[in-house]
Structure formats: C-alpha cells, structure tokens
Structure 1
Amino acid sequence: MSSEVPDPTDVEARSVENVRIENEMEQSYIDYAMSVIAGRALPDVRDGLKPVHRRILYAMHEMGVSSGSSHRKSSSIVGETMGDYHPHGDSAIYDTLVRLAQDFSMRYPLVDGQGNFGSMDGDPAAAPRYTEARMAPVAEELLEDIDKDTVDFSPNYDDRLREPDVLPAAFPNLLVNGSSGIAVGMSTNIPPHNLGEIIDATIELIDNPDSTVDDLMNHVKGPDFPTGANIVGRDAIYSAYKTGRGRIRVRAEFEVEEWKNNRERIVITELPYQANKARLVERIAEDVNEGEIEGISDLRDESDRNGVRVVVELKRGANAEVVENKLLENHLERTFGVINLALVDGQPRVLSLKETLAEYISHRREVVRRRSEYDLEEAEDRAHILEGRLTAVENAENVVELIRNSEDRSAAKAALQEAYDFSEEQATHIVRMQLGSLTSMEAAEIEDEYEEVQAEIERLTAILESESELLSVIKEELREIKDEYDDDRRTSIVEDQGTVTHEDLIPEEEVFVVMTEDDYVKRMPIDGFDPQGRGGKGIIGADVKEDDRVTTVFRANTHDYLLCFTNQGEVYRLKTYEIPEMGRTARGKSAVNILDLDPGEDITAIVDTDAFGDDEFVTMVTRHGYVKRTAGEEFDNILSTGIIAADLEDGDELVDVDVTDGSKDLVIATEGGMTIRFDENEVRAMGRNARGVNGIKLQADDAVAGLVATDERDEQALLTVTENGYGKRTLLSEYRTQSRYGKGLIDIKTGERNGPVTAVKAVDADDQLVMMSERGQIVRTRVDEISSVGRNTMGVIVMEVEDGDAVASVDVIPASAAADADDADETIDAADATDTADAADTGDAADESN
C-alpha cells in the first residue's frame, strides 16, 4: 500500500489579503520608528528617563540595592535588568549603567559606582564583573513613594512582572541631568542644569503660572555642566529656553600664568561638556607640529583625580593672546546644540523651558494626589481599627467574657459584631489582641495614635480638596530636596569677549546699504560716491532685475546693530557687516539668506540701534495713518526669527520708523503732499502688540509716505522728495503744531510733474543727501544745493530720473559724517580706485554664479 507525501506548498490559505508593497513598507517603517522613538531613544518629560534608565533604577530598587546597602556586582544588576525588564542585550544596559555613574557625564549621578567607570580621556569602563554599583541617594528621590500607587504600571516583556511607566520623580530630572538620544528622524540633546536653580524656577511657575521665560531665567541662569567651563553669551540661552532649540557656545576655563625665565604658559582647568581630553591634547599637538599654531614649546596633561590640568608652555617672546585665540578658535570652544525634545503623553514634542516645567508640575500634581489618596485610605483603615480597639478597651471585661464563652474564633467574632456593631475587620483584630493590650497604658497609647491618625486624615483630606494645599506640598518637598542636594553652579556665563572673531576682522567704516523690492541687499563703501550738484543723474549703485526695483538706501557703520522693520509689522536684528559687501553694479544677495523673512514680507524701515539712548522710544507709522510709540527696551531681545513690532489691521502696512525721546514733534507726510505736525506725547507709549492710534486723517486714495521726528531748532528744515525727482526744503517753523488726527497742511504740490511723495527727512543746511532710483541710479548731493522755499510749492529738480524710473529712497548724511567721508575720499589714489573697480567686478561675477 503506497501513500503520497503531500506538497507542503499546496495548501489552501485560510485568508489572503492583497496589499501594495509600498504601503506595507511605509506602515512597517512607521511602526518601527515609533517603537524606537517611544520605547528606546527619547526621555519622558515627567521623570527625564528613557526606558533603559528607568528599568535599571527600578531593578535596583526591587533588588534592594539602595544608597544604604552594600555595593553589588554590576553584572548582577545588568542580569536582573535584562532578565526581568529590558531584553535588549547586556552591553547596552551596562553602558547606560556606566554613564549614570560618571560624574563627568551626569550633573547629579544616579548610580554610585565602585571601580573603573571610565574617564574624560575616553577610556572605557572595566568589565561588569569587575565593577560594583548601588543607587545614589538622589536617585532614590526619583523612586520615592513608587509603592503607593503614585504611577501606572504595565506588564513586562514576558507578562511575568509589572514595571512602572514612569517614576514619581520628586525633582525635574529631565532638566537637572539632561538627556541625549537619536531616534528615527529626530534627536534630543538637553543640557544638564543646577538642581537648586531648576527647583527655584519650578516653585516660581507654581506660584505664578503666567510667568514668562524671562521670569524663569531670573532663577535659571543657563545650563550647568558637570565639567564646568563657560557659556559664551546669553542670547543663545534665551533662544533655547524660548523655542526649545539653540546653539550654545561652551568655552574651556583657562588662565595665563607667568612662568620662569619671563615666559608664560596657558593652564586649562575645565573643558567643555563631553570633550575628550586625551584627543584634545593630541589635536593641539598635531596643530603645533604642522605649524598651524606657533609659539608653543611644550604641552603636558597634568590632570589627576582632583581635576583637569593641561599645561601649554609658550616660547620666549611668544604672544600669549595670539596663541590663546588660536586655541579657542580650533580646540577650546565647542557648540552644544540644544534640542529640548521629550515625550509628552507618548508623543515627541520640542518644549520651551516653561513648557517643560509645566509638564513636570502636572506630573507631580498627579503623583501627590494619588499618594494622598493612598495614604488617606490607609489612615482611614487604621482609624477604623483603632476605633474598634478603643471600644474593646472601654468594655474590656465584657469583651474578654464574651470571647471566653465563645466556642471558637468565628463564634467570638460573630458575638462581638452583634454586641458592639463591630465590622468584620475590627472583630478580627480584637480577637487577635493580646490581653496586655487592655492595660490602661496601652489604652492611652491607642488614644494618642488615634488622634495622630485623625490629624493625618484631616491633613490628607485638605490636600485632596484644595489645589493650593496640594501645590504647597509639592513646593515644600522640592525645597527639602534643594536643601539636601543643592550645590554651587559649576558653569559660568561670560560675555563674548577675548576671541578673535569674524567681526574683529571687519574694519569700521561708513557704508551704504541698498535693498530692493524682491529683498536683494548689499552694502557699498560710502567713499565710492562723490558729491554731485543738484539735478544730476548720478551713477549706477545697483543692477536690479527687470521686475525688481530699489526700495531703500541708508547709511550705517559696519559694526552697527540694525533693526529691520517689515511691511507686516515684524522686526529683525542684524549687524551691518552681515550684509555682504559688493560692487556698485552688483545686484546683491537675497535677504532670506540673512533674515528669516516670510513670503511677501518686505523691509520698509531700518533703525540704527546706536541711536538708542535711555528712556527712548521706537515710533512707527503705517500706510493707513496709524502711529504708535513703544519703549526701546522692548526691542532688546530679538530672536533670529523676528518679533512683532506692531499689530496691523487687514490691508495696512508699516511704512516708516524713527527714534524719539519724549520731547520731539512728529511730522507725518502723505503721498498726496499733505503733512501734519503734533507733539509725540499725544501718542501714549504702548506695547509691541498694539496697533497704535490715528495720526492723520487721510483723504481718499491718499496714503502715508513717511515720518519725521524733529526738535524745535529753527534752522532745521523738512526735505520733501517726490517720485519724479523733484523736491524742496522748508523750515519746520512753517509747519504749525496741531492736534493729532487732523487733515494737516499742504506741504508740496504733487500732480503730474512731481508725482507722489517718496520720502520726507529733517535736514540741516550742511548735511548731504543720498538718493537712489528704482533702477539703481544713485546720487549724493549737498542739502544747501536745494533752495529753501515755503510750503505749498512745486519744488525744484533734485535728481534726474529717466522715463519709467522713479526716486525710491532718500537718506541723510549728517554734516560730521559727510566731512569724515570726504576726508577719507581725498586719500584714495588712482591705484586704490582701480583695486576697488576690480573688486567690484569680482563681486559681480561671484553674485552671478550664485
């Protein structure tokens, strides 16, 4: 009898589902990514721990390896963690355990290690069979009250045990110890901080939920790295705390010492966080051998257990400052990129300082609430038992008689419940009581304990019924932890000084900055443009594209800070030298590569912050005639992404900006040739988010062209320039002061010949003007070439513009600055002029290639 073996592939499937492979791959990759993000790489905002950290600490807690116990072999801790909670390999677990014990990696180590746990030189830790560990005292604060139902638990990987989803965390560990990790498509890099500062900021936020990042930074000065060193500048810290992202420069701590034989040496005592000391010394030596750094005679690492000490000995006559700057440029400074990314409700989020603390407070509020509920239930159960015991003591003879006459324990409990209305728990406890508990002394102790339990019940009830009481508990516990573990700040914050930077290589000089409607921008030396007579055509100052046009030209110093105001009411800040220098015929560089402008956002006004003084205001005017004043101090901290300068109504735009001091008159001019003059104090000071108040009552189809802030000097005049190149200057005394929001006075006749008003400026007779047309022609002329006339006149030609062209912008060069520029211009010889032209041609070619 023969039988055929069935073909294993010839089996009818129970069900077949057809799917597109790209969809299956996409979903599988998303599942994998989320597993890495939530299960391995990112910390939880509540306790600041990744799963592997949390499992190691919980395994040590379950093993009884506390700060008060003896050290246990690291291999034992790794084995328990891997076997019960984290089945991802002993190497990953031990590496994590090692880092938790390193005082140069953790600001407050969570593991107390014994043995070789690595070094700042990159040396690895000894094998786990050679090292021992136990929990550090501060780590126990993260696990405090975990047995009181304060957090949720989930089954472990094989459903044998349960592990906590998060630790109770009695302090904000995420910020205190920081975290770093690379997930799929995202990463986190959170610096450590001083525990006392973070706790103070947490208490501040509890007391004042409306606190801003500025308020919290009154407590948190910045990151506090375990290796000390210095953070350079505060702007990056503010940006990181405000947005959750930032780039912080960390500089080594060093000093220059006088040494023997009139020589000097540089002694490095603190290194930037996560720097490899041995590799750092090697790289300095390599640069010395290759001639990149000159003046070093010897280099030694004298570090020991007491701290870092790297000695750089200099040759006789070597300039210590030059060597110092070379070391800073290439070795002793590094950037810490802050990415404050953490899991919030299982989802990755980039958090500001305030949001991070708010999430922690929310977690801690839940922990204290659940702990109080647990303790209250325990206290009520104990009070219930004590009430039964007190009743039994009061009726001791009858209770003893009743129990003695009962057949067994069950009968005794039933008799007690019937006689004294005891609950089953009370009756059970009384039956098990010893006769010695019925003495008068024992009775007094029971009464005292009962009163204490009742007081505890009242306290816990108050906590659960009052939000303020609950928050008070949180604050008190935070203060206790601060008193126990707080220490001095290790990382200092220094101003950005003492390093040769790109700015040091930029000479201070007066320049013209040119901007176009399509936001191309460049700067040119001011001495490249000689003054001409009134009515000249000028020379090419910019080669604009066919559909583009020049909108702004202004004078500035290369080292000035500029506030750039846009038509959408935003303001940005940059240094003049950050604008690329190019030749006269170059188009410029797109401003979006310099400023974070939105589509359709154009720069309409620029203020040189060197003009700011104490108690001064930034005064703005919009196309619809609104005017507002805002204190200059509100523009001190401007992010790279800009901040709001004015809240505009639909269809309105910011037109012009000037700096005032409370004693000026404001002159608003319109495109139709009207002006109004009024005291600036008629406009109250208001915040950046305000729209402003009405400044001038506009006629139909008219719009504001510009703003002038002037004082009472009689010789000062108002210069008005129109699109077609005509202009005039009229003494400001001819413009009487009115009340705000009037129609104003006629300033200049516009019409077909003149065209609409382009700009108004306050000028003195010995000032100079720079005018630029939309097509890039530029003219520099003296103000006294323009005759002084009355109001309501046509004016004279001040710049010859071709058909289809128009005056785009006017800027004033004060007499003193003009004289300096003219003096410098006289020193330029033919060779310099040739060099300038060659440089301009090179810049043009580079611009075209870009």
Structure 2
Amino acid sequence: MNMVALNSGGTPQLMNIRQILLEYLGHRQVIIVRRTQYELVAAGQRAHILEGLLIALNNLDAVIETIRQSPDSEVAKLKLIERFGLSELQAIAILEMQLKRLAALERQKIEDEYKEIQATIEKLLLLLQNPQAILAVIGQETEELISLYGDERKTKLIKGKIGEMSDEDLIPEEPTVITLTQTGYIKRLNPTAFRSQSRGGKGSIGVKMKEEDVVQSLLTASTHDTLLMFTNLGRVFKLKAHEIPESQRQAKGTAVVNLLSLQAEEVVRSLLVIDEVADTDKFISLATKKGLIKKTAVQLFSNIRQNGIIAITLNDDDQLVWGKLTSGNDDILLITHEGKCIRFGEDQVKSSQRDTKGVKGISLRASDYVIGVEAVNDSLEKTDHLLLITENGMGKRTPFSQYPRQKRSGLGVKVADITKRTGLVAAALRVDESYEEVVISTREGQTIKLPLSKKSIPILTRATQGVILMRLKETDFVVAVTLTLKEELS
C-alpha cells in the first residue's frame, strides 16, 4: 500500500503505510505540544491574576483605603501597583473585583482555584518534559475517539479473483427511454418523464426539436444494455445505453454525429437493444426499404469498431430501414407503409455473413416500402397481438392468427382498412402481457402514454380501421411508437 502525502517538511512524498502512520504520529505530537504550551500560558496568566486577588484579600483594609483616597480608577491602579508590588493586570483585576467576592466563601473559592491552577501548571510542565507522556495522551485520545465514533465495519470483504473494475460497474442498472430524431439528435430519458393518459388525449411535449424535425425512434432499455445503431447505408455502430447523455424531457438532446463516426450522407435509421449475455445464440433480421430480408448471427456483431462495420450490403437504390432480434425458428412478418403484411418462416432465410445482400421478403408496389419487422412463433401466436398505429393516431390490436403463413417474396395481406381517415401505417409492433403501456410520438413533438388494455386499445380483426388513440392537428401525424414493460414501471 503506497500513497502520496505531505511529510513534516511540507514536501509531497510517496509513503508506505508504516511511513504515513509515523508521519501522522509526529503530527499528533506537534499538535499536543502546541496545545499544551497554549494551555500553560493561559494557566500562568490566570494564576497571576489569582495571586493579585489573594494579595488584595490579605490586605483588604489597606486596598480599600487606597482606592477610596484615589480621585479616579487610573490613579487607584497606579497606587495599588506601587504600594503592593502588583502588575498592571493584577491591579485592574482588583479594581474590577465585585464586592460579593469579599465574602469568606468567595475568598475560599479563589484560594481553591489558585491551588488547582498551580497543579495544572505543574502537570503541563511535566508533560512537555516527558515525550512518553505525550505518546500516552495520543493513545488515550485515540481510545476516546473510538468509544465516541467507532462502529462495526459497513463494507464486506469478499474473497475472489482480482480483476479490473469498468466504468459500467459504477453505473446503476435502471430502465431508461432512448429517443432519436430524423435530423440525428439522440437523448436518454427517465421513464417517469411521461405521464399516463386516457385514450384520445392531446399528449405532452416529449422532445424539443429543431424546426421541421420529427421523432424517428423511441425505445425502452436498461442502462447496461447494448444499443446497435443501424444506418441507412447498411452500417452498424455499438453504444452502451448509459453512454448516451441523459437529458430532460424537453431538451433537444445530443447530435448523433458527436457519438458516432458517420459519413456525410449517413443517418441512423434503426435502434436495437441487445443483451450481450442472453442473446448470443440469436440472430438479427434486417429489412430494407425495398423489402429485402437477411439474418445474421448476433455473435458477428460482438466486435464492432468505433467507426462501425458493415451490417448488410445494399443496392444503390435501397437502404436499410429496420432490424429485429430473432431466434432462428420464428416466423418473420414484414409490414409495409401502405398496409400490407407478409408472414413466412425464418427458415426460408439462410443465415449469412454481415457483408452480404438480403433476399426478397415481400413484393412491393412502386410507392410502398417496409415500415416494420416482427418475429413470432407458435407459442406467441396464441397470446400475442400485432399492435397497429396509423399516422392519424388510430390503432388496434390484431391476433397473429389472422396473418396466414406464406412463401417468402409474396404480396402479403392487408393489415387494416387503410383510408384517408386513418392515414398510412406508422408502426406495427408485437405486444403481449409483459407490456403495460404504449408511448406514441408525433411529428410536432407531442407524446402520449396509453395503457395496453382492451378499453384503450381494443382487439379487432385485420379488416377494421381501429379506434382513435390520439387526436391530432391536420398538420401533425404519428412518427414513433414504443412499448414499456411492466417490470420497468415497478
């Protein structure tokens, strides 16, 4: 054990535990000597005053006569000094002495105090002359401190292998909300920043944005989770959730370019939360705007350089729009902006390396594009639903059983009765009993949190439009939807 401390000469010095204890002991000796010297001076001054008072009491009549014959106190002081051999301090003390101290009892108190002061002076002188006595005082005072402030050890010593402590070990693991805007501003929020409301409410301001900016992604995570950030150019970057600066609800956030090494025309299009311990045997399924699909093992995304790596190779007229975590045996659902959905087995897509192109997942009209990707299995199909939110704030939940399995690259089926009233599809997400609320954000920065209940968001068939979840201005529309888990709200 080594540490740097100031030695007795005031110079910084590297010391081991024995050296620093000796320095501290020497410091305590100096303190006690100085304190003793101070107390000795104070005791000597008090003894001197008491000696003068005793002289006055022993010559009381003469002192009174001298004072009565003096025209003022200054003359009286000088006469007392001259007649009784007193010092100026003693003479002043006699003149200031109250008449009640002339009583016999008060005289005895003065004599007793004088004896005590003499004993104290003798004790202090002996202490200054004996270094061993000073060490004994240090020990005694240390024992007194222990009796006053000593308590049981609060920390526990646990045997284990010596290892390094990372910055993450010092960061509490807690739920958080991550938001990303289309112009590239990202921030981390406490989930309590949003208030739960009734269906059809106006919402509360969720993100302060630059003019014409809109919320693109909003998701929940743990501060220890890994965020994979997929860009429109098919690259992926990795950040820990806690590395994103935490902001207030109405703050604009931090520019993504200050966190990632993005190219000139590169923007983040999708955020994915990964548990690097629990998700090692899974896959990341990626979808492009043109309806291509590919899957890659999560392990291939473990070593991501600071300047990112290739997640998918894209055609010149295509871009990456979404990514989802899959098991390898799931059914993949691709949902499009114009309200189409295709469901096919994940086994129809072979696992490939990161720098490969995808295969056709859905056939699209020229004006249509993929808006969401979900993964389900036979077990989830019985309990889960597809939550559909349209641009005009309408929504519903639909059982997955209403989406038939097809061969990959088909046209798909309708997800809703899409009309001008509903607007096109803004988001399509899988929901189950583990989710408690849905957070909806709009282009103009309005945010609303709704409970995932039949009363707020009913279960309806594919052919329906849904119900009004959020009333919007004509110029506003939904741009981001996320879910909160029950355990994150506890």
Fold match (TM-score > 0.5): yes
Q: Give yes or no for contact 2:293–2:361 (8 Å, CA) kept in 1.
A: yes
Kept in 2: contact 1:536–1:800 (CA 8 A): yes
Change (3 A) 1:290 1:658: farther
Question: Is residue 543 from structure 1 mapped to residue 211 from structure 2 by the alignment?
Answer: no
- Conserved in 1, the CA contact under 8 Å of 2:194 and 2:206? no
Cα distance in 1, alignment partners of residues 304 and 472 from structure 2: 38
Q: Counterparts of 1:668 and 1:636 in 2: how far apart (Å)?
A: 26
Work out the CA distance in 2 between the residues paired with 1:548 and 1:287. Answer: 61
Which residue does the alignment assign to 2:440? 771
Equivalent in the alignment of 1:573: 238
How far did residue 815 of structure 1 move?
3.3
1:64-143 equivalences under 5 Å are none
Match of 2:301 in 1: 635
- Secondary structure of 2:409's counterpart equals coil
Compute the displacement of 1:552 (Å): 0.8
Matched, 1:783 2:452: yes
Structure 2 residue runs without a partner (length 5+): 22-145
Partner AA of 2:438 in structure 1 = L
Q: What corresponds to 2:183 in structure 1?
A: 518
Q: Is the 8 A contact 1:764 1:783 kept in 2?
A: no
The answer as to whether partners of 1:595 and 1:640 remain within 8 angstroms in 2 is yes
Counterparts of 1:433-448 in structure 2, within 5 Å, are: none
Question: Using the alignment, how far apart are the partners of 1:614 and 1:694 within structure 2?
Answer: 26
Q: Offset at 1:778?
A: 1.5
- Normalised to the residue count of structure 2, the TM-score between the two structures is 0.66
Q: Give the Cα–Cα distance (whole angstroms) in 1 for the partners of residues 432 and 246 of structure 2.
A: 30
| Over 6 Å off, 4+ runs | 287-291, 316-319
5 Å-filtered alignment, 1:135-214, equals none
Is 1:585 matched with 2:250? yes
Distance 1:580 1:716, change over 3 A: same
Please give the alpha-carbon distance, in whole angstroms, between the structure 1 residues aligned to 2:259 and 2:444.
23
Partner of 1:467: none
Q: Which has the larger radius of gyration?
A: 2
Match of 2:5 in 1: 285
Report the Cα distance in structure 2 between the residues aligned to 1:705 and 1:504, rounded to whole angstroms: 37
Instruction: State the 1:786 CA deviation.
Output: 0.4
Closer/same/farther in 2, CA of residues 700 and 792 from structure 1, 3 Å limit: farther
State the Cα deviation string for residues 785-839 of structure 1 (Å, max 9, x = none): 200000122111222222322211111223333xxx1x4xxxxxxxxxxxxxxxx
Match of 1:753 in 2: 421
Q: 1:298 aligns with which of 19, 24, 44?
A: 19
Q: CA deviation at 1:295?
A: 11
Over 3 Å counting, the alpha-carbon distance change for 1:763 and 1:705 in structure 2 is same
Indicate yes or no: 2:220 matched with 1:562: no
Residue 651 (1) aligns with residue 371 (2) = no
What is the one-letter code of the residue matched to 1:812? L
- Is residue 723 from structure 1 mapped to residue 388 from structure 2 by the alignment? no
Q: Which has the higher contact order (CA 8 A, sep 6+)?
A: 2
Name the structure 1 match of 2:469.
798
Pair 1:532–1:693, CA change in 2 (3 A): same
- 2:477, 2:15 → 1: CA distance? 57
Output the amino acid matched with 2:475.
G
Which structure has greater strand proportion?
2
Q: CA deviation at 1:540?
A: 0.9
Per-residue deviation, residues 449-481 of structure 1 (Å, max 9, x unmatched):
xxxxxxxxxxxxxxxxxxxxxxxxxxxxxxxxx
Q: Which amino acid aligns with 2:473?
A: E
Task: Kindly report the root-mean-square deviation, in angstroms, between the aligned alpha carbons of the 2 structures.
Answer: 3.1
Q: 1:287 to 1:524 in 2, by over 3 A?
A: farther
Label 1:290 to 1:790 Cα distance change in 2 as closer, same or farther (>3 A): farther
Percent identity, aligned pairs only?
37
TM-superposed CA distance for 1:547, in Å, is 2.6
Distance in structure 1 (CA, Å) of the matches to 2:233 and 2:319: 6
Change (3 A) 1:286 1:649: farther
Cα contact 2:5–2:15 (8 A) shared by 1:
no
Give per-residue Cα distances to partners, 1:414-466, cap 9 Å, x unaligned.
xxxxxxxxxxxxxxxxxxxxxxxxxxxxxxxxxxxxxxxxxxxxxxxxxxxxx
Partners of 2:170 and 2:6 in 1: CA distance: 26
Aligned to 2:403: 735
In structure 1, the residue matched to 2:479 is 808
Of Structure 1 and Structure 2, the greater helix share is in 1
What is the CA distance between 1:579 and its match in structure 2?
A: 0.8
Residues 676 and 285 of structure 1, relative CA distance in 2, 3 Å threshold: same
Report deviation, 1:640: 0.6
Measured in 1, the distance between the counterparts of 2:473 and 2:401 equals 34
Q: SS where residue 808 of structure 1 aligns?
A: strand
CA distance in 1, matches of 2:195, 2:293: 37
Shift in Å at residue 729 of structure 1?
A: 0.9
- 1:19-34 matches, within 5 Å, as none
Are residues 586 and 287 of structure 1, via their aligned partners in 2, closer, same or farther at CA, if it must alter by over 3 Å?
Answer: farther
Report the secondary structure of 1:672's partner residue: coil
Alignment deviations for residues 275-297 of structure 1 (CA, whole Å, 9 cap, x no partner): xxxxxx7xx33699899x99956
Which residue is 1:706 aligned to? Answer: 372
Matched, 1:686 2:407: no
Q: Aligned runs of 1:340-739 on 2, under 5 Å?
A: 497-499=163-165, 502-610=167-275, 612-712=278-378, 713=380, 714-739=382-407
Give, in angstroms, the shift of residue 651 of structure 1.
2.1
Checking the alignment, whether the CA contact within 8 Å between 1:766 and 1:783 is kept in structure 2 is no
Q: After superposition, what is the alpha-carbon deviation per residue over 1:566-605, rounded to whole angstroms, capped at 9, x for unaligned?
A: 1111100011111111111111111111111122222121
CA distance in 2, matches of 1:754, 1:297: 78
Which residue identity is paired with 2:206? G
Q: How does 1:217-228 map to 2 (within 5 A)?
A: none
| Preserved contact between residue 543 and residue 775 of structure 1 (Cα < 8 Å) | no
> Does the C-alpha gap of structure 1 residues 744 and 591 become closer, same or farther in structure 2, counting only changes over 3 Å?
same
Q: TM-score, structure 1 length as denominator?
A: 0.39
- 1:707-762 Cα offsets, whole Å, 9 max, x none, are 00112231210111111111111000111111100000011122311222111111
Which structure 1 segments of 5+ residues have no match?
Answer: 1-264, 267-280, 301-315, 323-494, 824-850
Q: How far apart, in 1, do the equivalents of 2:195 and 2:417 lie?
A: 31
The residue number in structure 1 matching 2:102 is none
